[in-house]
Amino acid sequence: MAQPDDVLDDEHFPAYTMGRAAEITGASPDFLRRLDEAKLITPFRSAGGHRRYSRHQLRLAVRAREMVDRGTALEAACRIIILEDQLEDALQHHQSYQRQRHTNAA
C-alpha cells in the first residue's frame, strides 16, 4: 500500500474529481470529457465509476485549453500535445543513451 508521502509526490496519482479538475484547469467538465474522447487524457475511475484526474493530466488539460482558446481545433491541439510529449520522451531516451555510451567508452 502506498504511503501518504508517496501519494503526495506522485504526479500520476488520481487525486482530483471532475469538478475540482474543471475548477483548477479553468475548463468545463464537458471539455475534460472531450479530452478523454480525443485520447489526450484517460481519467482513472473510482470504485463508483467517477472520473479522477492526476496533476499530470491536469497540466495536459491546461495546455489543450490554452491552445483551443487561441483558435486551435481540439483534435489538433490534442494531437500536437501527444506528439510534443512523444518527442520529449524520445529526446530524453537519446540523451540517456548518449550518456551511457560516453560512460562505456571511457
pLDDT above 90 for 3: no
Q: Looking at residue 16, which CATH number applies to its domain?
A: 1.10.1660.10
Nearest to 21 by CA among 47, 68, 48, 57: 57
- The number of distinct structural domains making up the chain is 1
pLDDT above 80 for 7: no
Look up the domain containing 91 and give its range.
4-105
Residue 23 CA, distance from chain mean position: 16
pLDDT above 90 for 5: no
pLDDT tens, position by position, 39-60? 999 999 999 999 999 999 999 9
pLDDT tens, position by position, 56-91? 999 999 999 999 999 999 999 999 999 999 999 999
